[in-house]
Amino acid sequence: MATVVFDGTRLNSADTIGTAWTVLGLAKAATAEPDFIYQNTGSASNKVKTTEEGVAYVHTAAVDLTASTLIFKHIATTSNILNNEGATGGILEVGSGTTRANYYRYYVVGGNTYPPKGGWLITPIDPNVSAHRDATIGTPAIGSARFFAFAATFTASSKVENVAVDALDYITSGTGLTLTGTAGTIANFVSADEGTLANRWGLVTTGAEEVAVFGTLTIGTATLTTFADSNVVISFPGGRFAAGFSGLAFGMSNASQDIALTDSIIKGGGAGSRNPAKSNRKVYFDTIAEIDPTPDEITIVGGHGYVTGDAVLYSKEGGSGTTGLTNATEYWIEVVTSTTLNMHTSRQNAITGATPIALSDSSATESHSLTRQPDTRPDIVYTGTSGVGSKTGCTFNTCRNITLTSVITHTDCTYLQCGTLTLAQGILTGANVSGSTTNPGQAFIVTPDLGDITGATIVASKGHAVEITATGTFSWAGNTTTGFWSHGNVLKGQGATFNASTGVNGSTEVISTDETHGFTNGDEVYYSDEGGTAIGGLTDQARYFARALSTTTVSMHRTKADAVADTNRIDITAGTSQEHALYSAHATILNSSGAAVTINVSTGATIPTMRNTAGSTTTVVASVPVTVTVLDTSGNPIENAQVYVQDAAGPFNDSSQIIRELTNASGIATEDFSGTTPLAITIRVRKTSTGSTRYIPVQASGTITTTGFSTVVTLTTDTIASA
Burial annotation 104-134 (CB, 10 A radius, 16+ → b, else e): bbbbbbbbebbeeebebbbbbbbbbbebbbb
Predicted confidence band of residue 678 (pLDDT cuts 50, 70, 90): very low
Q: Do 695 and 686 meet the contact criterion of CB atoms below 8 Å apart?
A: yes
How close are the terminal C-alpha atoms of the chain, in Å? 80
The strands making up 510-512's β-sheet, listed across from edge to edge, are: 496-499, 579-584, 523-528, 543-548, 553-557, 510-512, 504-505
Give the single-character DSSP code of 600.
Answer: E
Neighbours of 139 (CB within 10 A): 11
Dump pLDDT digits (tens) for 417-447: 999 999 988 999 999 999 999 999 999 999 9
pLDDT of residue 635: 61
Where are the strands (E) in 592-667, listed by range?
596-601, 610-612, 617-631, 642-647, 658-663
Q: Grade residue 274 by pLDDT with cuts at 50, 70 and 90.
A: very low
Q: What is the pLDDT of residue 645?
A: 53
- Of 601 and 574, which is predicted with more confidence? 574
pLDDT at 133 over 50: yes
Type of residue at 446: V
Asked whether 584 and 611 are in contact (CB, 8 A), the reply is yes
Beta bridge pairs of residue 106: 92
pLDDT in tens, 686-696: 545 555 544 44
The one-letter amino acid code at 66 reads T
pLDDT above 50 for 137? yes
Q: Could you tell me if 489 and 515 are in contact, meaning their C-beta atoms sit under 8 angstroms apart?
A: yes
Query: Right CATH number for 3-172 from 1.10.230.10, 2.60.120.260, 3.40.50.720, 2.160.10.10?
Result: 2.60.120.260
Question: Which residues, in sequence order, are CB contacts of 655 under 8 Å at separation 6+?
Answer: none
Q: Under 8 Å CB-to-CB from 601, ≥6 apart: which residues?
A: 476, 607, 608, 620, 621, 622, 623
Helix (H, G, I), strand (E, B) or coil at 437: coil
Higher pLDDT, 627 or 140: 140
- The CATH architecture annotation of domain 621-722 reads Sandwich (2.60)
On whether the pTM is more than 0.95, the answer is no
Q: What is the pLDDT of residue 267?
A: 94
Least confident of 327-341, 567-581, 648-662: 648-662
The CB-side HSE value for 552 (13 A sphere, CA atoms) comes to 11
Q: How many residues does the chain have?
A: 723
- 149-192 confidence digits (pLDDT tens): 999 999 999 888 999 999 999 999 899 999 999 999 999 999 99
pLDDT at residue 679 tops 70: no
Range 4-9 average pLDDT:
98
Tens of pLDDT, residue by residue over 76-125, are 999 999 999 888 999 999 999 999 999 999 999 998 887 767 789 999 99
Question: Dihedral of CA 198/199/202/205: which sign?
Answer: negative
DSSP label at 495? -
Picking from 85, 135, 142, 138, the residue whose alpha carbon sits closest to that of residue 347 is 135
Confidence of residue 316 (pLDDT cuts 50, 70, 90): very high
pLDDT value of position 675? 41
Q: In whole angstroms, what is the distance from residue 248 CA to residue 65 CA?
A: 23
Report which of 522, 519, 511, 422 is spatially closest to residue 467, judged by C-alpha positions: 422
**How, if at all, do strands 420-423 and 443-447 pair?**
parallel
Residue 25, pLDDT above cutoff 70: yes
Cα(41)–Cα(86) distance, integer angstroms:
32
DSSP 311-347: EEEEE-TT-----SS-TTEEEEEEESSSSEEEEESSH
Q: Which one, of 73, 81, 82, 65, lies nearest residue 129 by Cα?
A: 65
The radius of gyration of the chain from alpha carbons, rounded to an integer in Å, stands at 32
SS (H, E, C) 411-430: ECCEEECCCEEEECCCEEEC
- Judged against a pLDDT cut of 60, whether residue 643 lies above it is answered with no
Question: Residue 16 has what pLDDT?
Answer: 86
Q: How far is residue 77's CA from residue 114's CA, in Å, rounded to a whole number? A: 10
pLDDT, residue 672, reads: 44
**Mean predicted confidence (pLDDT) in 308-320:** 94
- Greatest alpha-carbon pair distance for the chain in Å reads 116
CATH 2.40.30: which residues of the chain? 282-373, 490-585
Please give the average per-residue pLDDT across 447-462, as a whole number.
95
Beta bridge partners of 528: 581
Round the average pLDDT of the chain to a whole number and report it.
87
Predicted local distance difference test score (pLDDT) of residue 703: 37
DSSP 521: T
pLDDT of residue 488: 85
Considering the chain, tell me which residue range(s) the CATH 2.60.120.260 domain(s) occupy. Answer: 3-172
Beta carbons within 10 angstroms of residue 83's beta carbon: 20
Cis peptide before 115 (omega within 30 of 0): no
Give the HSE-up count for residue 67: Cα atoms under 13 Å, Cβ half-sphere: 4
Phi and psi for 649 in degrees, rounded to 5? -70, -20
What average pLDDT score do residues 23-37 get? 84
Q: Quick one: what percent of the chain has pLDDT higher than 70?
A: 85
Task: List, as one string, the DSSP characters of 204-226.
Answer: EEE-SS-EEESSEEEE--SS-EE
- Run of H or E residues at 720: helix 719-722
Higher pLDDT: 514 or 671? It is: 514
The DSSP bridge pattern shows strands 21-24 and 53-63 to be: antiparallel
- Scanning 430-559, the segments in alpha helix (DSSP H) are none
| Angle of CA points 324, 325, 329, to nearest 5° | 165
What class does CATH assign to 490-585?
A: mainly beta
| CATH domain 282-373 topology | Elongation Factor Tu (Ef-tu); domain 3 (2.40.30)
Fill in the amino acid letter for 381: V
Instruction: Name the helix (H) or strand (E) containing 171.
Output: strand 168-172
- Tell me if residue 113 falls in helix, strand or coil: coil
Output the pLDDT for position 637: 61
Q: How many CB atoms lie within 10 A of CB 656?
A: 7
Does pLDDT of 649 surpass 70? no
- CATH 2.60.40 range(s) for the chain read 621-722
